[in-house]
Amino acid sequence: MPFTFETEAGELESITRSLSFSSEIYKQADLPLPIDAKQTDVPGHSWVLPTLLTNAGVKFLHIGCNPASKSPDVPLLFWWEGPDKSQLMTMYFDPYYGTSPAPPTDWKYKTWIAIFHTNDNTGAPSWEEFIKAINEVKTQNPGAKIRTGSMADFYTTIMKENPELPVISGDMPDTWIHGYMSMPRELKADHNLGKQIYNLETLNSLSKIWGVESNEQVNIVVDKANESINLFNEHTFGLAMSHGHAGYWAYGNEFEYLRAKGFYEPIEFSWKEKGQHIATAENLVYPVLKREMKKLAASVNVDGSRIVVYNPLPWKRSGLVTIQTSYQLKKALKNVSTGEIITNSKDNNIIQFIAKDVPALGYSTYIPVEEQKPAPNHFLISDEKNATIANQFFSIQFDKNNGAIHSFIDKKSGKEAVSTNPDWNFGQYVHEQFSKEKTDSYAKDYIKGGFSWAYAELGRINLSDEPYKKLSGENAKIMFRKIQSQFQQL
């Protein structure tokens, strides 16, 4: 793996592609692909790792936790079983990034791996540090046979002992989500980009098959975008207040004063720098994808104006198509392949219609026509007075006070999907201001004993004794808007 991830931040496609960095290095050096992997610092990782790594040929994973964060309750060495039953030998070292020079007293095997890991942002150890580490291993393990090597060497050696290891099947939730979840827009874009990169590659390959001029630069664009996406998923999400590079913990008017003076600019810039990786990937992928789509539409052998809907999925699908254009369409659209007449709605320059059964990894072409289509038997029904919308499948009622969904009924089963809990409404805006008592309680539970410095990062410094507050949206404005089609209301 290229670096430590927030694995729950990443989309599966991008995490899988991240393995290509080490693969390329090993291929260039004419070496077999590695069978060992490492993650450092982050306390917990997604359950997808044993499945992903095992299917990539990895046999051993080492996770070293930072000394402050609470670690999951797992054995030191175990088989981590993925959702597909793949089993990956995993060592989880609770105290630090590497391991100890000597095994714990209850270690049952002849083989031990002593991983000496430097601290944050200090680079690889010097030769002198390496020699010092070797001497420490010799001192703490008198009579042991000691050799340097890879984590893969540890795996192949201990496997000769036929170790009987416990099997752990389940997730290790990432307790560091306050990093990537503080950037919800970028995280959403991150997950979308993983799919769009795949779509771009697929379209470029299919274009060659269909006789459309292919873009030889797509591979370069994909590689650069993939690197940016993975750099966003990397586990450091900018500076923390405790690093001392920007202002100090303040709240309310004092915070606003300090921010206006520019005291928080360094720390805020570090967060912008992190989010910029996603903006870079978007700027690489989306313009090229749009150009390739226009190239496909232009190559379709149909006279005059046409709309081409491409389906990148390996199964046929139907869905809403949205186009923004100043072009004045006729009354309806006609599917060139099936002859079906399709109603379209127009709202200023926004045109929408339902594309049905677009072929898998293929496209459907639509041309504007004057023909009219009979009104369908059912419409989306709205009741503004009761704040309700419904169709043949669902009935949804909104709460006029807070804008949350009050009721969501599946008409087929008659079941209500929304809880009646008065404290937490479905889709409700909630802002919580936690008290010092609550934040201190969290920090006490989360931080490992003996690491008081961690409170500066995981607690809330200078917080007042104000009690807990919960604020929710009130007096919501719910708007119902009917969009006129060429000849009927939708």
Amino acid at 311: N
The DSSP string of 56-88 is TT--EEEEEE-SSBPPPS--SEEEEE-TT--EE
- Determine the Cα–Cα distance for residues 117 and 124; give it in Å rounded to an integer: 8
Residue 125 tokens, joined:
């150890």
Instruction: State the burial class of residue 120 (Cβ atoms within 10 Å of its Cβ: 0-12, 13-18, 19+).
Output: exposed
**CB contact at 8 A, 332 and 369:** yes
Q: List, for residues 134-181, the tens digit of each pLDDT value.
A: 999 999 999 999 999 999 999 999 999 999 999 999 999 888 877 788
Of residues 14, 453, 460, the one with CA closest to residue 229: 14
- Determine the Cα–Cα distance for residues 463 and 300; give it in Å rounded to an integer: 64
Q: List, for residues 5-31, the tens digit of each pLDDT value.
A: 888 888 888 899 999 999 999 999 999
- Determine the Cα–Cα distance for residues 165 and 53; give it in Å rounded to an integer: 19
Q: How far is residue 321 from each of residues 307, 324, 352, 381, 466, measured CA to CA in Å?
A: 10, 10, 5, 21, 50
Average pLDDT for 407-420: 94
Q: How confident is the model at residue 415 (pLDDT cuts 50, 70, 90)?
A: very high
68 φ, ψ (degrees, to nearest 5): -105, -35
Cβ neighbours around 378 below 10 Å, total: 9
Average pLDDT for 109-125: 92
Residue 470 tokens, joined:
């919960």
- Determine the Cα–Cα distance for residues 208 and 321; give it in Å rounded to an integer: 25
Residue-level pLDDT at 485: 52
**% of the chain surpassing 90 pLDDT:** 67
**CB contact at 8 A, 227 and 311:** no
Domain ranges of the chain: 34-169, 178-299, 302-374, 430-472
Whether CATH 3.20.110.10 fits 34-169: yes
**CB contact at 8 A, 146 and 132:** no
Residue 294 tokens, joined:
């226009």
pTM of the model: 0.86
Residue 488 has pLDDT above 60, yes or no: no
**% of the chain surpassing 70 pLDDT:** 97
Residue-level pLDDT at 142: 94
**CB contact at 8 A, 205 and 361:** no
Q: Please, what is the average pLDDT of the chain?
A: 90
The kind and range of the H/E element at 432 are strand 430-433
Q: List, for residues 254-308, the tens digit of each pLDDT value.
A: 999 999 999 999 999 999 999 999 999 999 999 999 999 999 999 999 999 999 9
- The residue written with tokens 């997604």 in the block is 46
Q: How confident is the model at residue 247 (pLDDT cuts 50, 70, 90)?
A: confident
Residue 468 has pLDDT above 70, yes or no: yes
Task: Give alpha helix (H) positions in 300-335.
Answer: none
**CB contact at 8 A, 333 and 344:** yes
Task: Give alpha helix (H) positions in 88-183.
Answer: 127-140, 151-159
Q: List, for residues 60-80, the tens digit of each pLDDT value.
A: 999 999 999 999 999 999 999
- Determine the Cα–Cα distance for residues 68 and 42; give it in Å rounded to an integer: 10
Question: E strands within 244-330?
Answer: 307-311, 317-324
- Determine the Cα–Cα distance for residues 43 and 64; give it in Å rounded to an integer: 8
- Determine the Cα–Cα distance for residues 28 and 21; give it in Å rounded to an integer: 11
Amino acid at 138: K
Residue 486 has pLDDT above 60, yes or no: no
- The residue written with tokens 């990895």 in the block is 58
Mapping DSSP onto H, E and C, the string for 102-128 reads CCCCCCCCCCCCCCCCCCCCCCCCCHH
- Determine the Cα–Cα distance for residues 279 and 67; give it in Å rounded to an integer: 33
Of residues 436, 439, 458, the one with CA closest to residue 447: 458
Whether CATH 2.60.40 fits 302-374: yes
Question: E strands within 275-378?
Answer: 307-311, 317-324, 332-335, 341-347, 350-358, 362-369
Average pLDDT for 205-222: 89
